[in-house]
Amino acid sequence: MQTSHKFSNIQLELLKLYANDVSDEDLMVFHNFISKYFAEKAIKEANNLWDEQNWDNSKIEELLSSNFRTPYSKK
C-alpha cells in the first residue's frame, strides 16, 4: 500500500535548508529564531484574548487555580 504525503510549506523550506551543510552555530541561531517567533506569536494572541474578553488579574488567578486535566478512571 502506497500513501502519498504532501509536505507543508515550512517542511519544503526546511528541506531546502537541509540540502546545505549548516554549522551548529547557524543551526542554534535558526532554532532560537523559530522559538522566538512562535513565542511572540503566542504572546500576541494571548494579549488579544485578554483585550477581547476584558480580562483582569482576577481572571488570571482563576486560571492559575483551575485544574484542566482529564481525570483518568482507575481500573
pTM of the model: 0.60
* pLDDT tens-place string over residues 2-52: 667 899 998 898 888 778 888 899 889 989 999 999 999 999 999 999 999
Joined together, the cell numbers standing for residue 33 give 529564531
Note the pLDDT of residue 9: 92
Domain ranges of the chain: 21-64
